[in-house]
Structure 1
Amino acid sequence: MTVPFSLSRIHHVAYRCRDAKETVQWYERVLGMRYKTAFSEDHVPSTGAFDPYMHVFLDCGGGNILAFFELPNQPDMGRDENTPEWVQHLAFEVPDFDALMAAKAHIESLGIDVLGPTFHGIFKSIYFFDPNGHRVELACNIGTAEQYAELERLAPVMLEEWSQTKKAPRHADWLHKDPDA
């Protein structure tokens, strides 16, 4: 399917936070993001509703922006209790495995619990939580060009099989065999 336009990148992805200042400081200190800008209004521009907010924007590299809303007049934020906490997460790429391990050491030195590294066939990851309860993943690619091409070739087949059976297609079993295990 073709559409009459093209996307150039993610402009920003927005999540809710409990405290905008704490969130900005955490992402600067833990992940080295740069605080770019903020918007603060009493009325939501798209709806006109009265709902004061602080909207902060952090540069997470590659022209991608991570944003947060602090909404002091709304009920305390929570999470979707029907979705496991491992499902919804923010994933950021680091250049290589050495950078991933340096990140893990840095984050743990700040007293933050880190899970991993976890092997995913074509990348390895670590996981931890931000002060708002959002799960964060750092990942480094380890796959070969041939592996990425094979996964792209298999993607439509796997999706169709999943759609029909709701069972994990095993077309890429090689993904689950960690050579370092």
Structure 2
Amino acid sequence: MRFAVDRLDHLVINCRDIETMASWYQRVLGMEREDFGSPSRVALKFGGQKINLRPADHDTADWIAAETCLPGTQDLCFIVAVTVDDIIGQFHACGVRIELGPVTRQGALGAMGSVYCRDPEGNLIEVSSYSS
């Protein structure tokens, strides 16, 4: 039987400093922290998805991972239900430097307004709105 992917459930970001990363995603992007599993793991929940934070120096007995796991190599896009001006205001209020934007990009559902920044590990974070 053939199948088709329905949605993204979670993704994993490799981190040098999990606490700094968790704090940034909670403070800047409003995600909810979840501690789970054994050994202790950290996830950031938003909508119906989550991001698992994996220590860059993870033990391969505890984590199955891609062949190359380097901090700062992600390029992620998050959709928000506010305007681009609101995104910019939130970044400024949190002291986050804008890398690029506002710009118009083509998303999964059409044109969207995007603003780019970097998280504490250097990952490129695009925050976008279809209601620009």
Q: List alignment gaps of at least 5 residues for structure 2.
A: 60-68
**Residue in 2 that maps onto 1:119:** 104
Following superposition, the deviation at residue 93 of structure 1 comes to 0.5
Q: Normalized against structure 2, the TM-score is what?
A: 0.74
Higher helix share: 1
- Per-residue displacement from partner, 1:111-158 (whole Å, max 9, x unpaired)? 211121101261110000000111101111259xxxxxxxxxxxxxxx
- Give 2:42's match in structure 1, choosing from 56, 62, 69: 56
Pairwise CA distance, 1:71: 3.4
Specify the alignment match of 1:32 in structure 2.
30
1:90–1:135 CA contact under 8 A, matched in 2: yes
Structure possessing the higher relative contact order (Cα contacts under 8 Å, 6 or more residues apart): 2
Q: Where does 1:40-119 land on structure 2 (aligned, <5 Å)? A: 40-41=38-39, 55-61=41-47, 63-72=48-57, 77-78=70-71, 88-97=74-83, 100-114=84-98, 115-119=100-104
Contact 1:10–1:65 at 8 Å: present in 2 too?
Answer: no
Residue in 2 that maps onto 1:133:
122
Change (3 A) 1:38 1:104: farther
Q: Percent identity?
A: 27
The structure where strand makes up a greater share of residues is 2
Summarize the alignment of residues 131-170 of structure 1 with structure 2, pairs less than 5 Å apart: 131-141=120-130
Question: 1:55–1:70: 8 Å Cα contact kept in structure 2?
Answer: no
Amino acid at match of 2:43: F
Deviation by residue 1:144-179 (Cα, 9 ceiling, x = unmatched): xxxxxxxxxxxxxxxxxxxxxxxxxxxxxxxxxxxx
Root mean square deviation, CA, Å: 2.7
In 2 relative to 1, CA 30–101 (structure 1 residues): closer, same or farther, beyond 3 Å? same
Count of residue pairs brought into register by the alignment:
118
Stretches of structure 1 that go unaligned for 5 or more consecutive residues are 42-53, 81-87, 144-181
For the pair shown, which has the larger CA radius of gyration, 1 or 2?
Answer: 1
Distance 1:123 1:13, change over 3 A: same
